[in-house]
Structure 1
Amino acid sequence: MTNPIFKTGGLTRPLVAAVFFALPAPAFADLTSQELWSQWQEYMQSFGYDVAAQATPADGGLTVTGLSMSLPMNSPEGSLGTMKMTFGEVRLTDQADGTVLVTVPESTPLTVDVDPVDEDPVKIVMNHVSPDFRAVASGTATDTHYDYSASIVSLVLQSVMSEGKTVEPGTVRINLNGLAGTSDMNIGDAFVVQQDLTAASLDYAVDITNPDPNGTGTFKMNGEVRDLASSGGGTIPKGADMTRMGDAMRAGYAVHAAVTYAAGMMQLAFEEGAENFAYASSSEGGRFDVSLAPEGLKYDVSSRTVKMHVEGSEIPFPADFTAEEIGLGINLPVMASDDQQDFGAVLTLAGVTLPDPVWGMADPGGALSHDPLTVRLDLAGKGRLMVDLLDEEQMTQLGASGGMPGMVESLTLNQLQLKAAGAEVSATADLTVDNQAMSPMGPFPNVFGTADIRMTNVLALARTLSQMGLIPQGQAMMIAGMLQQLGEPVSGPDDLKALVELSQQGALTVNGNPIPLQ
């Protein structure tokens, strides 16, 4: 059975909280250690945590020990159990200039206990290691600024307890090196947080023997990302029930993050008996942007100059791939509304070079162009969402009824580019979806609009594929005949364009020529 922790959004809040305490986030008039500690408690409680600790006056400030945060895990069916995080010591020292110095021991434990209903508890023990981490908080209890830095901050996995057994899995470590940043927290009707961070690098290492308790294999992974810069923040409304994300979103909950890096690499290897697999990749930089707000979910990730190598016992030969750019973007509404909302998706696979052995299998005679492949897709649209996608109760009811969460009302193809084997197809399109009328062509909403298509060297590619025996000669001749009859030449007989129009009444034309659909 899947551990209930993965059935809820329960991991999001703990991770935000862990970052807040492990790398204290949110500097103006005098601020005291007691005010800062009270602020932290209020902030954590706004996420639904039950906070417990001993705050003891010491050396002109507070020493916080025994810090724990418990969070119920719920679903529409009821309680799934609880999650509890326990931290080591945190020192808050009042300074003469009205600021508060935040420090932690060089090594301090971080424990996560998950106690699900009807399943065995899970306990994860880690160490937070930083020999020189320090943060200075200034300002007031409701408008606080932090400056923080560290030569290194590490999280090291110590043990995992599951099904009544405690195991030390091996090496699992992540390091953030050359860290410096600022954070601001403003408190009114909501907690408004903004954080900016730079780091010389982030590296990680995993070396586990017997990743499957019943096996005898090994798993290794390591990687590095250099010259990191991130900016992020959010709004957490006071009084919002963070265990009900739909309600929290309606109250104004929003988060955003943007990360860039100059270069990255990763290697992994798995081996068990005769089975093995290895993968390596590198890139010359990229970015990661994500935001979640009542206006919707946005996700955008891309990497430049990507190189990949893969080999293994189930792979016939080692293979190397390269790409000029790989990217994925999504824009998705999440809240129900009577008004139209935007959505979209972007996919980029630019300048993809396939390994020679792949071409040797697909094209042993070298008849095709082996130039890099490119796929670009940019799709946008408008629609109406009838349920809150982050409301678990609504989504459960929707799943039980078999209904649709919303309806598409228009689609715009801003770009489609397919470039491979010496041929290229590009297109744009604008389509309208009338959900109140049935299509003349079938039992679905009526779709109508226009598309502009450009095809270069497609005729030559069809002939070559036919000569290679990859498509029947008759089909190749039919494709060529249709393209030549309907396509309008641009700069030559194998450079064609077409304006495709589908009317509201279901009439299809290509460059003005009617095409029967029945």
Structure 2
Amino acid sequence: MRSTLFATFLSSTCLIGVPAFADVTPEEVWENYQSMMAAMGMDITAEESREGDTLVVRNMVYGMDIPNPAGAVSTISTAREIRFQALSGGKVGIEYTAPITSISRVPANPMLDMPGYETRVDMTFGGVTEVSGVKNDMRYTMDGGSMTMKSAPAVVEGVTLQPSVDMSIEGIVGSYTMLRNGDALSSDMDFTAARMTYGFEPFETEGTTVEMATSATDLRGSGTMSLSGAKGADAFATIIGGSTMDIDLSSGASTAMIRVLDEEAGDDMELTSTSGSSTLNFALNDGAVGYTAHAKDMLVSVAGAQIPGQQIQFGLGSMTAGVLFPLKAGDAPQAYELEIGLEELALPELAWMIADPTGQLPHDPATLKLHFAGTLTNKMDLFDFNALENMEPDSPPRMAVNTVEIPEIFLSLAGATIAGTGAGKFLDKEPAMPGGMPPFAGTMSLNLKGVTDLINKLTASGILPQEESTMAQMMLGMFTLPGEKEGELVSDLEMTEDGAILANGQPLPF
């Protein structure tokens, strides 16, 4: 499904398409369309004919192969009819009068014991896209367009490998530019959509029926993209290694539902969730790929006869997830980054009844934030699947972490907090064990508040055995010093280049 969606998305970007200049002709718009597809590594065949003021393109067929460790996933798409009509004011209207059908063939994967299968997706586009500009610099504009997608289920020997999917986007308003410079293409986009829905048709698996549906409102997207248009044996690798993208997506309120209906009475379960606004940034630059996702005001409810009280709920004030990773080989160190954040996690009272039956602990919402960054050296294009497949088990490592930075570690739970920062580097020395990591040197600073009090409360409530409580207090005494405020502990840890471990300047006995 991912390969089909990727190919059909690339083919349909011209629908949303924002410079009003001189006239453009239907033939020029069609030529620009083909150039865009070619820059994405696709070959096109089609039948063309003129019908008055309209250029009609029928039976357009295009495809691409997307690399996969078990073999390329091939996708072939067919657009039965596209009409390019000359409009007043030197513009051209593009209309898809029939769905685009995409068929993807996924090869068998013996390592995962997965059979090969085929998927089919039909995409329908509503509305007319207006094109203005000049031959090599065009703007595509939509006002109230729509898109629907429906996929057939992929079933092999009675097993549903991929359920049928329905998706729709309504009220699309926006524009997309397409600037050609030789084989290279660049563009920027800005669009909104009123509503999106996505869901699986009910499917059966191991005696249960599963349903899933999501919806989101007030969608917005903006960003820039450039494709080099360079030709290569592996179109996918050429795109990843030679393109740049910076896309921002956002939505307003959204909902999600998963329902599991069991053939045994009383085993049904339903999960529902709502969230406020959310954002997603995706970036691709010089072979480094990254994304940052953020969502706010989430509420999750799980209901079922087997759940005490029939239902539990928990809330999350905000969630953040981010990754930056270099996929392209290079001699110089490249940046990487990982960020995870769960803020204001409100656990259900049922969880507190189990964890704190005597009511000793504060039931404040919990927060966890982790942020790691640094540099690494990558000696292999990770989008070159042929090279990855040909690697021998005893091949020397092609990737090495150089530096590690910890801008933030933060945990707040049951009235206690732990906060810290750190930094370090891997030394240019042989690993202590063959195949292991080189020696590491670095520092970390920690600030702990309310931890001693939390240990005492856990011990008093019987959750933490006395011997474990004593051990925890001994470890705190070894690694920390009293801070400026009551209940505060601080610690400065260091791993030196000669292998020593220091806590607040004092060597530890191990």
TM above 0.5, one fold?
A: yes
Question: In the aligned structure 2, how far is the partner of 1:429 from the partner of 1:217?
Answer: 48
Alpha-carbon spacing, 1:247–1:86, altered in 2? closer, same or farther (3 Å): closer
The secondary structure found in structure 2 opposite 1:89 is: strand
Question: In the aligned structure 2, how far is the partner of 1:503 from the partner of 1:172?
Answer: 55
Alpha-carbon spacing, 1:12–1:381, altered in 2? closer, same or farther (3 Å): farther
Structure 2 regions of 5+ residues with no counterpart?
Answer: 109-114
Q: Does 1:154 align with 2:145?
A: no
TM-aligned CA deviation for residue 276 of structure 1: 2.6
CA contact (8 A) 1:113 1:122 kept: yes
TM-aligned CA deviation for residue 239 of structure 1: 3.2
Question: In the aligned structure 2, how far is the partner of 1:44 from the partner of 1:497?
Answer: 59
Instruction: Tell me which moved more, 375-384 or 479-488.
Output: 479-488
TM-aligned CA deviation for residue 11 of structure 1: 4.4
The C-alpha deviation readout for 1:260-319, integer Å capped at 9, x for no partner, is: 122211122121302433111111101011122325111111100111112346655532
Alignment match, 2:284: 292
CA contact (8 A) 2:121 2:149 kept: no
1:286-325 alignment runs, 5 A limit: 286-312=278-304, 318-325=311-318
Alignment match, 2:135: 141
Question: In the aligned structure 2, how far is the partner of 1:406 from the partner of 1:121?
Answer: 34
Alignment match, 1:457: 450
Match of 1:221 among 212, 216, 224: 212
The secondary structure found in structure 2 opposite 1:266 is: strand
1:329-340 alignment runs, 5 A limit: 329-340=322-333
Instruction: Tell me which moved more, 343-352 or 307-316.
Output: 307-316
Alignment match, 1:124: 120
The secondary structure found in structure 1 opposite 2:427 is: strand
TM-aligned CA deviation for residue 437 of structure 1: 4.6
Alignment match, 2:112: none
CA contact (8 A) 2:139 2:178 kept: yes
1:235-384 alignment runs, 5 A limit: 235-241=226-232, 243-250=234-241, 252-274=242-264, 275-312=267-304, 318-384=311-377
Q: Does 1:112 align with 2:95?
A: no
Alignment match, 1:34: 27
CA contact (8 A) 1:241 1:248 kept: no
Alignment match, 1:44: 37
TM-aligned CA deviation for residue 16 of structure 1: 3.0
CA contact (8 A) 1:136 1:147 kept: yes
Question: In the aligned structure 2, how far is the partner of 1:312 from the partner of 1:52?
Answer: 53
> Which amino acid in structure 2 is aligned with residue 128 of structure 1?
T
CA contact (8 A) 1:109 1:125 kept: no
CA contact (8 A) 1:308 1:320 kept: yes
The secondary structure found in structure 1 opposite 2:83 is: strand
> Which amino acid in structure 2 is aligned with residue 256 of structure 1?
D
Question: In the aligned structure 2, how far is the partner of 1:399 from the partner of 1:372?
Answer: 49
TM-aligned CA deviation for residue 236 of structure 1: 1.8
TM-aligned CA deviation for residue 244 of structure 1: 4.5
The C-alpha deviation readout for 1:414-469, integer Å capped at 9, x for no partner, is: 010011111111111111211325569x9641211211110111111112222333
Alpha-carbon spacing, 1:478–1:193, altered in 2? closer, same or farther (3 Å): same
Question: In the aligned structure 2, how far is the partner of 1:344 from the partner of 1:120?
Answer: 35
> Which amino acid in structure 2 is aligned with residue 34 of structure 1?
E
TM-aligned CA deviation for residue 498 of structure 1: 1.2
TM-aligned CA deviation for residue 331 of structure 1: 0.9
CA contact (8 A) 1:242 1:248 kept: no
> Which amino acid in structure 2 is aligned with residue 273 of structure 1?
E
Question: In the aligned structure 1, how far is the partner of 2:431 from the partner of 2:167?
Answer: 56
> Which amino acid in structure 2 is aligned with residue 262 of structure 1?
G
Instruction: Tell me which moved more, 59-68 or 46-55.
Output: 46-55
TM-aligned CA deviation for residue 322 of structure 1: 0.4
CA contact (8 A) 1:334 1:389 kept: yes
Alpha-carbon spacing, 1:254–1:459, altered in 2? closer, same or farther (3 Å): same
Alignment match, 1:102: 94
Question: In the aligned structure 1, how far is the partner of 2:75 from the partner of 2:9?
Answer: 14
Instruction: Tell me which moved more, 220-229 or 419-428.
Output: 220-229
1:467-478 alignment runs, 5 A limit: 467-478=460-471
The C-alpha deviation readout for 1:102-123, integer Å capped at 9, x for no partner, is: 1233xx2232223456776625
Structure 1 regions of 5+ residues with no counterpart?
Answer: none
Instruction: Tell me which moved more, 46-55 or 498-507.
Output: 46-55
Alpha-carbon spacing, 1:504–1:73, altered in 2? closer, same or farther (3 Å): closer
Question: In the aligned structure 1, how far is the partner of 2:371 from the partner of 2:507?
Answer: 29
TM-score of the aligned structures, taking structure 2 as reference length: 0.88
TM-aligned CA deviation for residue 41 of structure 1: 1.7
Instruction: Tell me which moved more, 339-348 or 399-408.
Output: 399-408
Q: Does 1:425 align with 2:392?
A: no
The secondary structure found in structure 2 opposite 1:445 is: coil
Q: Does 1:58 align with 2:51?
A: yes
TM-aligned CA deviation for residue 38 of structure 1: 1.6
The secondary structure found in structure 1 opposite 2:458 is: helix
TM-aligned CA deviation for residue 15 of structure 1: 3.0
Question: In the aligned structure 2, how far is the partner of 1:444 from the partner of 1:74?
Answer: 30
TM-aligned CA deviation for residue 217 of structure 1: 4.6
The secondary structure found in structure 1 opposite 2:89 is: coil
Question: In the aligned structure 1, how far is the partner of 2:495 from the partner of 2:446?
Answer: 14
TM-aligned CA deviation for residue 470 of structure 1: 3.2
Question: In the aligned structure 2, how far is the partner of 1:418 from the partner of 1:40?
Answer: 52
CA contact (8 A) 1:207 1:218 kept: no
CA contact (8 A) 2:240 2:287 kept: no
The secondary structure found in structure 2 opposite 1:329 is: strand
Q: Does 1:175 align with 2:168?
A: yes
Question: In the aligned structure 1, how far is the partner of 2:313 from the partner of 2:492?
Answer: 39
TM-aligned CA deviation for residue 29 of structure 1: 1.9
TM-aligned CA deviation for residue 412 of structure 1: 1.0
CA contact (8 A) 1:120 1:164 kept: no
Question: In the aligned structure 2, how far is the partner of 1:198 from the partner of 1:60?
Answer: 31
The secondary structure found in structure 1 opposite 2:490 is: strand
CA-based RMSD = 2.9
Alpha-carbon spacing, 1:284–1:399, altered in 2? closer, same or farther (3 Å): farther
Alpha-carbon spacing, 1:141–1:164, altered in 2? closer, same or farther (3 Å): farther
TM-aligned CA deviation for residue 81 of structure 1: 6.8
User: % of aligned pairs identical?
Assistant: 21
Question: In the aligned structure 1, how far is the partner of 2:251 from the partner of 2:67?
Answer: 37
The secondary structure found in structure 1 opposite 2:473 is: helix
The secondary structure found in structure 1 opposite 2:24 is: coil
Match of 1:90 among 79, 82, 86: 82
Alpha-carbon spacing, 1:127–1:411, altered in 2? closer, same or farther (3 Å): closer
Question: In the aligned structure 2, how far is the partner of 1:463 from the partner of 1:399?
Answer: 54
TM-aligned CA deviation for residue 505 of structure 1: 1.3
Match of 1:195 among 174, 189, 196: 189
CA contact (8 A) 1:240 1:248 kept: no
> Which amino acid in structure 2 is aligned with residue 199 of structure 1?
A
> Which amino acid in structure 2 is aligned with residue 369 of structure 1?
P
